[in-house]
Chain A
Amino acid sequence: DGGITQSPKYLFRKEGQNVTLSCEQNLNHDAMYWYRQDPGQGLRLIYYSQIVNDFQKGDIAEGYSVSREKKESFPLTVTSAQKNPTAFYLCASSTPGQGERRGYTFGSGTRLTVV
């Protein structure tokens, strides 16, 4: 079955460390997204990519970086510049037409904690 795989499920980061969250999809979707969710709050867009080798900043991009070298993959790096990275991170994908029929597809999420 097609879907989005996020790994790891849980991740612990030390102060000053960069960490990378993985997001892989086998849905052949063109667009991919990263969202951050803080406890009791909605989702905020970090970065998004509509095609390979192109991506745009979302509303809270500072302290994060991404790459889109392959259609299937959209990894998110949380850098040491992100001062409060503890949150639940969700990756999503979509493609024209599919988004209108069923909405975006979300991964199972990565819970990042600073230790």
Chain B
Amino acid sequence: ELKVEQNPLFLSMQEGKNYTIYCNYSTTSDRLYWYRQDPGKSLESLFVLLSNGAVKQEGRLMASLDTKARLSTLHITAAVHDLSATYFCAVVYLRVADKLIFGTGTRLQVFP
């Protein structure tokens, strides 16, 4: 069974600082997603990572994937308050079924 773990679960950062969120998964997969969720809202797709070594960047967020280590990272550069949200990684379990398994989420709070 596929398990997806994120750490940290909660992250409080000062504006302007850098930090990394980690996502580990337990079995082979060929797709990993990062989502953002604001309180009480739905999920917004941030990144889709499809291959080993894939790196994608959007603004102050950069995501990478190491399929051999079964690890993805979401790096935050020079955090700003608008980045405060909960971030989820999600991994496809079986390609045929396209079953998406989510991590526990990382709640990010950026303060001045």
Q: Interface on A for B, CB 8 Å cutoff? A: 31, 33, 35, 40-45, 48, 50, 56, 58, 88, 90, 92, 94, 96, 99-109, 111
Contacts and interface: CB of A to CB of B under 8 A. Distances in A.
A100 B31 contact: yes
Interface in B15-68: 31, 33, 35, 40-43, 45, 48, 50
B42 A108 contact: yes
A33 B92 CA distance: 13
Contacts of A92: 100
Contacts, number: 59
Q: Which 3 A-B pairs have the closest CB atoms?
A: A103-B45, A42-B102, A43-B102
Contacts of A90: 42-43
Contact of B104 (A41, A101, A106, A111): A41
A56 B48 contact: no
A43 B102 CA distance: 6
Nearest to A56: B97
B101 A45 contact: yes
A81 B61 CA distance: 43
B82 interface: no
A100 B31 CA distance: 7
Interface of B: 4, 31, 33, 35, 40-43, 45, 48, 50, 88, 90, 92, 97-105, 107
Could you say which of B100, B102, B103 has the most chain A C-beta atoms within 10 Å of its C-beta? Answer: B100
Given A33-B100, A42-B105, A48-B99, 4 more contacts: A41-B104, A103-B45, A103-B48, A111-B40
A41 B43 contact: no
A104 B4 CA distance: 17
Nearest to A91: B42
A107 B98 contact: no
Contact of B48 (A45, A88, A101): A101
B54 to A, nearest CB: 12
Contacts of A106: 42-43
Contacts of A56: 97
